[in-house]
Amino acid sequence: MAVDTTITLRNDIVYSIFVRNHTPEGTIKAAMADLPRIRALGTTIVWLMPIQPTGTVQRKGTLGSPYAIQDYRQIDPAQGTFGDLEAFVAQSHELGMRVILDVVYNHTAPDSVLAKTHPEWFYKNEQGQMGNRTADWSDVVDLDYSQPALWDYQIETLQLWAGYVDGFRCDVAPMVPLAFWLKARADVATVDPDKHYIWLAETNHPEFIKIVRDMGYEESSDAEIYQAFDMTYEYDVIEAFKATLKGELTLAEYARLLNRMDVTYPKNYVKMRFLENHDNERAASYMQDIDTRRNALAFKYFEKGSMLLYAGEEFEATHLPSLFDRDIIALQPDQAKTDLSDFIQRFSALKQDPIMAEGKYQVTDLNGSVLQVTYETASQQRVGLFALQPFKGDLIVAIDSGEYTELITDRVANVVDGIIAFTGEPLILERQL
């Protein structure tokens, strides 16, 4: 991990905005009007998905993927202007939030500015044509980072955007050379030496990393990419989480995977936890039981690392907006769902406590249904109990008997002879040591 990464990023709540589909207007200016509500959820970082123009050649859908960028250095006129972005960032700062922008450096649209002006900067297949190295992404073509001039252009582009935003979420970052990211981070830091830019890597599933490496291409692991990045996705364990919910993996094995992170990654590692994002199905679509959803959401907030909310998740949206067409996100609950804003606010407030970044962290399977997550400092202990499988009744916990404060209700909770009454709702216990 970057040596100057601060573990206070573990206290952060990231909110992802797909500007084109966030409002009926689909503009930066319209999305800006939603910032007070977003901040009220406890959000500290706003992530803007790509706002640059999209390509038209081999476009998917009517509008094309925001990840098929046509010009790295422009804003899609339909979404706004640089002035709109400045205003958006300024208001975010006033509300106490930072803004990061999506960076898509593995590939561009086939009709991008770079593809037209510098075709030598692109990967060529056996037929000598632009294409993809590993995935069947028909609407994009891969860049070739063996070209030194490409590095200069891409870093200059990052420096341009660094004059507006507070950091970057980097798409499929492991497929771009680690050496590039190390240089990019150092060069971007010179734009504003007083600002600590945020670097979030979209890392890949372990299975995909092996496929890419077996094909002979470069692909950084999470442990490697932490040299240049502050935060990474939790794709290394998210499938295990889903398997646990389905009963295909034991809670004991899942807990072991989470605990192992503390010795697999650098001491100041930061994972971005999530239930859903723009590439993954909505949580409310694959977790039908509301009690399980609430426990899972609370658990993700309580895990070691930052937390991601994808717009609409706070209203238990089940529909995943299309990346290729106008598909406005429902920013209100439908009749079958509930507004989780208050629930999220409570856990966001708990996330801000220093113990959530600094405390010793341990995940324990209690009975095959409930996970206990414990944070401890010299003077404080905080314990979360989360039913990832349905359970109600007397629960044997891995903490000392005694009196605790239950932080959700601010009531006293007693552990007697190692047992606590568990109603099925998430429990957050705390005591002073």
Is 36 a domain residue?
Answer: yes
- According to the model, what pLDDT value does residue 176 have? 97
- Compute the distance between CA of residue 28 and CA of residue 243 in angstroms, rounded to an integer: 38
420 in the same domain as 283: no
Is 354 a domain residue?
Answer: yes
Residues 6+ apart with CB under 8 A from 267: none
158 in the same domain as 75: yes
- Whether residue 170 contacts residue 202, with contact meaning beta carbons closer than 8 Å, is answered with yes
Token pair belonging to 263: 């010795």
For position 337, which CATH number holds? 3.20.20.80
- According to the model, what pLDDT value does residue 3 have? 77
- According to the model, what pLDDT value does residue 316 have? 92
10 Å CB burial of residue 66 (0-12, 13-18, 19+) is buried
Among 334, 358, 382, which residue terminates a domain?
A: 358
The CA distances from residue 423 to 56, 156, 344, in Å, are 54, 55, 20
- Compute the distance between CA of residue 433 and CA of residue 423 in angstroms, rounded to an integer: 26
10 Å CB burial of residue 183 (0-12, 13-18, 19+) is middle
- Encode pLDDT of 107-128 as tens digits: 999 999 999 999 999 999 989 9
Between 137 and 198, the higher pLDDT residue: 198
Listed residue (317, 318, 275) closest to 296, CA to CA: 275
- According to the model, what pLDDT value does residue 1 have? 54
Token pair belonging to 325: 């067409």
- According to the model, what pLDDT value does residue 335 have? 63
- Encode pLDDT of 206-243 as tens digits: 998 999 899 899 899 999 999 999 999 999 999 999 99
For the CA atoms of 339, 281, 203, 302, the dihedral, rounded to the nearest 10 degrees, stands at 30
| Residue 169 pLDDT exceeds 80 | yes
Token pair belonging to 405: 């404060």
Cβ atoms < 10 Å from Cβ of 136:
6
- Compute the distance between CA of residue 55 and CA of residue 171 in angstroms, rounded to an integer: 17
What's the domain count of the chain? 2
354 in the same domain as 374: no
10 Å CB burial of residue 332 (0-12, 13-18, 19+) is exposed
335 in the same domain as 288: yes
Phi, psi of 393 (to 5 degrees): 135, -170
10 Å CB burial of residue 257 (0-12, 13-18, 19+) is middle
261 in the same domain as 232: yes
269 in the same domain as 133: yes
| Mean local confidence (pLDDT), 241-259 | 96
- Compute the distance between CA of residue 316 and CA of residue 284 in angstroms, rounded to an integer: 6
- Encode pLDDT of 385-408 as tens digits: 999 999 999 999 999 999 999 999
Cβ atoms < 10 Å from Cβ of 401:
13
345 in the same domain as 311: yes
Among 358, 386, 409, which residue terminates a domain?
A: 358
For position 417, which CATH number holds? 2.60.40.1180
131 in the same domain as 24: yes
- According to the model, what pLDDT value does residue 164 have? 98
Residue range of the domain that includes 395:
365-432
Q: What's the pLDDT band for 98 if we cut at 50, 70, 90?
A: very high
Is 82 a domain residue?
Answer: yes
300 in the same domain as 270: yes
Among 358, 391, 421, which residue terminates a domain?
A: 358
283 in the same domain as 374: no
385 in the same domain as 304: no
Across the chain, mean pLDDT equals 95
Is 1 a domain residue?
Answer: no
| Residue 337 pLDDT exceeds 80 | no
| Residue 135 pLDDT exceeds 90 | no
Cβ atoms < 10 Å from Cβ of 134:
15
- Whether residue 356 contacts residue 369, with contact meaning beta carbons closer than 8 Å, is answered with no
| Residue 100 pLDDT exceeds 60 | yes
Query: What whole-number percentage of the chain has pLDDT above 70?
Result: 99
Is 38 a domain residue?
Answer: yes
Listed residue (213, 238, 214) closest to 224, CA to CA: 213
371 in the same domain as 337: no
